[in-house]
Amino acid sequence: MRDLRVSVTDRCNFRCLYCLPETEEAADFYRSRLDGLRRADPSSQGATPIHRQWKPRSEILDFEEITRVVRVAVGLGIEKVRITGGEPLLRKGVEQLVGAIAAIPGVLDLAMTTNGALFAPVAAELRRAGLRRVSFSMDSLDRENFRRMTGRDGLTGVIEGLRQARELGFHPVKVNAVVIRGMNDHEIHDLVRFAVDEDLSLRFIEFMPLDSSRTWQRELVVPGREILHRLRERFELLPVDSSANPSETARRWRVAGGRGEVGIIAPVSEPFCGHCNRLRLTADGKLRTCLFSLDEHDLRPLLRGGGSDAELASHLRDRVRHKEAGHRIGQADFVQPQRSMSCIGG
């Protein structure tokens, strides 16, 4: 294990279709497709939504507790740390946590994933604190479609934030776009052109069953191979060699004659579980060995009950030994996790 994702809050100021689809438009989008599915197969039923309830502040790890877990994990081999949420910039003083983690010997890469809406005012401070890379979630370049997908009219702010990140020296600046059939798959060419023009690393991500409404449908997934085929109709793509990093989740290409980079992350149609080197720490102190884990391992009793670093390290080792062989998406026995993406951490 070399990669630790650290969620600092389960709260988010967006309501994205694939995570917290709580807007009326999101409900209408899924309802229309679910009704069509039921007409085709009357036996199909909608799943029971996840009851969302934000964790009280007393259950959320404080910065000292998070830093301690990271320090112990780095001592066991973790090299890359990514701060996530929810929306991590909703956590007051997160730049202090960035500074504390950046100061831990052995942290070779410190990044953050954000929706970008709150990034601009704190970008310079995050950079000074030691943040080196940032990934923005931006699923559409059309203002109205962006609002439909996220529940917020925030496209302009996100674009301003990613441009500021580039100017401040964050490298690479990544953009993650979750592709949903019938919602934004018609924009994939425009997103690539934007990435080339802005010198960004763009990642298309398959739609995964991690939404709180449990309305994920396989029919809405645009497989990675289809995305690649459609891109090659417009662009000459040159493969990027990633053999030096066997745990790379994205297949990557450069656009001939252009800047930036395009990648495809296809966990649904082309799982990469065998190469996974990630662990996840939720905001309330649960260790997850897979994004789709059905079991979580609470570290708070050790952190708040006087446990030593040696005991914490032993617990982490034991959990890693029992890491799942892989997720079961698409299998008859697949069970969606009880918590949505915002609570698990990206």
Q: What is the pLDDT of residues 186-210, one digit of tens each?
A: 999 999 999 999 999 999 999 987 6
Q: Give me the chain's average pLDDT, please.
A: 89
Say which range, 151-155, 157-161, 264-268, has the weakest mean pLDDT: 264-268
Q: At what angle do helices 188-198 and 224-232 cross, to 10 degrees?
A: 70
State yes or no: pLDDT of 153 exceeds 90.
yes
Give the three-state DSSP class for 21. Answer: coil
Q: At what angle do helices 63-75 and 309-321 cross, to 10 degrees?
A: 70
Query: Positive or negative CA dihedral for 211, 335, 216, 22?
Result: negative
Say which range, 46-55, 109-118, 125-134, has the weakest mean pLDDT: 46-55
For the beta carbon of residue 266, count every other beta carbon within 10 angstroms: 22
Span 101-111, pLDDT tens digits: 999 999 999 99
Instruction: Give yes or no for a contact between 190 and 141, defined as CB atoms under 8 angstroms apart.
Output: yes
Q: Look-up: residue for tokens 């279709």?
A: 17
Say which range, 144-158, 201-215, 332-346, has the weakest mean pLDDT: 332-346
State yes or no: pLDDT of 29 exceeds 80.
no
Cα 303 from Cα 307, distance rounded (Å): 6
| Interstrand relation of 278-281 and 201-206 (parallel, antiparallel or unpaired) | unpaired
- Percentage of the chain exceeding pLDDT 70: 88
Per-residue pLDDT, averaged over 261-269, amounts to 92
Of 248, 280, 245, residue with least CA distance to 265: 248
According to the model, what pLDDT value does residue 44 have?
46
Cα 46 from Cα 38, distance rounded (Å): 9
How far is Cα of residue 256 from the mean position of the Cα atoms in its chain? Answer: 28
State yes or no: pLDDT of 229 exceeds 60.
yes
The more confidently predicted of residues 28 and 95 is 95
Per-residue pLDDT, averaged over 33-46, amounts to 52
| Token couple for 88 | 């991590």
According to the model, what pLDDT value does residue 216 have?
78
Per-residue pLDDT, averaged over 287-304, amounts to 89
Give the pLDDT band of residue 48 (cuts 50, 70, 90): low
For the beta carbon of residue 230, count every other beta carbon within 10 angstroms: 15
According to the model, what pLDDT value does residue 36 have?
55
State yes or no: pLDDT of 222 exceeds 90.
yes
Q: Which amino acid is at 341?
A: M
Of 218, 143, 217, 223, residue with least CA distance to 185: 223
Cα 346 from Cα 288, distance rounded (Å): 12
- E strands in the chain: 3-7, 80-84, 109-114, 133-137, 173-179, 201-206, 237-239, 251-255, 261-265, 278-281, 286-288, 297-298
Cα 158 from Cα 155, distance rounded (Å): 5
Which range of 3-17, 27-41, 314-328 scores highest in mean pLDDT? It is: 3-17
Span 111-128, pLDDT tens digits: 999 999 999 999 999 999
According to the model, what pLDDT value does residue 43 have?
44
Torsion of CA 320, 293, 82, 9, to 10 degrees: -130
Give the three-state DSSP class for 226. Answer: helix
Structural domains present in the chain = 3-344 (3.20.20.70)
